[in-house]
Amino acid sequence: MIKYLLLISGLIGTLSVSAQPLAHSYTELPNPKPINQASWQAVKAGTYASFASPDVRYEKHTAPTAALSSLWSAKAWRGEKVHTQLLIWTTAPLAPVSLEWGDLRSSNGSRIPASQVKAGFVRYVMTDALNPDGTGCGNRKAADFDSSLVADAIDFTPSLAIAQQTTQPIWLSVSVPANTPVGVYKGTVTIKTGKNTRLTPLEYTIDVLNHTLPAPKDWRFHLDLWQNPYAVARVHTVKPWSQAHMNVMKPYMQLLANAGQKVITTTIINDPWRSQTEDVYGSMVRWIKKKDGTWTYDYTLFDQWVSYMMALGIDQQINCYSMIPWDLKFAYYDEAARKDTFLIAKTGTPEYDNHWRPMLTDFARHLKQKGWFAKTTIAMDERPLEAMQKAIALIKSVDKGFKVVLAGNYHPEIQQDLADYSVASNQVIDPTTLQQRKQRGQKTTFYTACPEGYPNTFTFSPPAESTWLAWHSAHKGYNGYLRWAYNSWVKDPLRDSRFRSWAAGDTYFVYPGPRTSLRFERLIEGIQDYEKTRILREQFQQNNQPDKLRQLEQVLDGFEITNLKTTSAGEQLQAAKKVLKSL
């Protein structure tokens, strides 16, 4: 049975063309760097293909010089998705190129169906670089940075034309079904460069081991990538919250659910982040001050969004932003004045308390009526200690059952009050506190943002760093990882990932289409590894295998950020995975 690229119906699992994806073809921006003629002079005329490292962002107009292979082999747990890159490089232009593949078969007759294999062209997007101080923050002008094309988006287009003296990466992934018998499975990928022209098939093997990963919805890794529904509405030119909007969002949010996402991002005020993104977050709750001075609240959009995401399997936590917006500005509709207006009030002031107490009281009532109160949190990010203390006091005075979360610096004074605490990657929480939080059922994660040059998930970051993040989480004893932007797209996200305020790629993991990315796929790889280490640790403890447990802990101990100064994320992962596969 042969599967052609043309037949791919989605990125992962159940995605469908009926969801009206933005599947149009597009042209990449011109490369600001000239063709590396020296590299092509060493290449005999012709077209070549080979497997390559998933850790490398290969340059578009440089012929590959690193050691490559016509074979790829991988070990996989049942239920795991494994992947690699392969390269096509050519001295002459090629007619549209496509790929074909079939089932993977073992010697005992078992097979991994061709439908579990996906292949996509890795597209080039414009990127920039870190600031001279090694960070990615601050107002940025393209002229101030060495911009270049970088391989990142993964495009499941049926075919792609390849210009002369071009290197074209392909992303190949195999999702091993959970019921696959143990054994070695062999498959091939064939590259078609014309109507009847095929290159020599590339062979690969997947060694399926006697371990099983749970389904993504059952992964314990606490993944919190913030969603931006308004960006989807802009890119797809649909009215926010219309049925068309909900339809086009489905493949994006299903892609996120299939990565093990646990949290729904909601907004209970307008513009909680001072219009920092290309698409401003509106409020999912409409605040109405009636003529007699009392308040009513319309939860229609909030309920619609939460119900929608829960139906897709993202149903463990509802984060509501934010009681402490960056400009302390709170919009509402004033019936007496018959217009939208706003209040500016600091936490702890009578004006602030008088504005929020009625809302929190009514919100608690509504959440309990919907059956969502236990899953809902009042969420803030990067807010100072004093403001947090005052907000927490107000929230708990309304209903002690309300949960509060924060993404920001570590404040030991309030850590007991936070059901979910995500600390910046440069912050330190002592092991005793971490253990106490776990015993109380509280989650502790970490996040990266523009201040961290590395490890990070910019479009110029080494792809292995996305995987490394989850290993770091396992090493530190964290529950997972947070990143503030899943899809807060820039103006032209398919072609140019640069943004006015932060390093390129800081605002999104996935591309319109939907199209996944090297960064997103490598992040999922790391989450799978986190689950493996968790399962193995529990197994070794249960079976009284202290030697294997010690080996596992020794591997994890190496995933300190300071170690990246001397050893790359890719090198560290290769060594760690070698040990993990032997356990």
**Could you read off the pLDDT of 468-492 as tens digits, one per residue?**
999 999 999 999 999 999 999 999 9
Residue 127 · residue 150 · CB < 8 Å? yes
Predicted pLDDT of residue 13? 32
Cβ within 8 Å of residue 562, ≥6 positions away: none
Please report where in the chains the tokens 């106490």 appear, as a residue: 436
* Lowest-confidence segment of 21-30, 61-70, 533-542 by average pLDDT: 21-30
pLDDT of residue 5: 36
Alpha carbon distance 509, 183 (integer Å): 34
Interval 201-212 mean pLDDT: 97
User: Is the CB of residue 572 less than 8 Å from the CB of residue 468?
Assistant: yes
Q: Whose structure tokens read 């986190």?
A: 530
Q: Which of 416, 405, 351 is nearest to 379 (CA)?
A: 405
The percent of residues in the chain predicted with pLDDT above 70, rounded, is 96
Distance of alpha carbon 247 from the chain centroid: 21
DSSP state of 214: P
> Mean pLDDT across the stretch 99-116?
96
Question: The whole model's pTM is what?
Answer: 0.95
Residues for the chain: how many in total? 583
Strand order in the sheet with 81-90: 47-52, 81-90, 166-175, 117-127, 148-155, 516-517
pLDDT at 9 exceeding the cut of 50:
no
Which residues lie closer than 8 Å to 181 by C-beta, 6 or more apart?
Answer: 106, 108, 110, 208
Q: Which two tokens stand for residue 480?
A: 């997972």
Q: Per-residue pLDDT for 90 more than 70?
A: yes
Whether the pLDDT of residue 6 is over 90: the answer is no
The C-alpha atoms of residue 480 and residue 530 are separated, in whole angstroms, by: 9
Conformational region of residue 303, where left means phi above 0, alpha means psi within -120 to 50, and beta covers everything else: alpha
Sign, Cα dihedral of 554, 559, 565, 568: positive
pLDDT mean over 531-543: 97
Reported as a pLDDT band with limits 50, 70 and 90, residue 48 is: very high
- 12 three-class SS: coil
pLDDT of residue 194: 79
Q: Give the C-alpha separation, 539 to 567, whole Å.
A: 30
**pLDDT recorded at residue 18:** 32
What's the average model confidence in pLDDT over 434-455? 97
Task: Summarize the confidence of residues 49-61 as an average pLDDT.
Answer: 97
- CATH placement of domain 2-216: 2.60.40.10
**Of all residues in the chain, what percent are helix, strand and coil, respectively (each to 5)?**
30, 30, 40
Q: What is the mean pLDDT of the chain?
A: 94
The pLDDT tens digits for 235-282 are 999 999 999 999 999 999 999 999 999 999 999 999 999 999 999 999
511 has a pLDDT exceeding 50: yes
Query: Where are any strands of DSSP class E within 107-217?
Result: 111-112, 117-127, 148-155, 160-162, 166-175, 183-192, 202-212
Per the CB < 8 A criterion, the answer to whether 322 and 347 are in contact is no
Element (H, E) at 331: strand 329-334
Residue 231 contacts residue 512 (beta carbons within 8 Å): no
Query: How many Cβ atoms sit within 10 Å of the Cβ of residue 310?
Result: 15
Judge whether 226 and 265 are in contact, CB under 8 Å. yes
- What share of the chain has pLDDT > 90, as a percent? 91
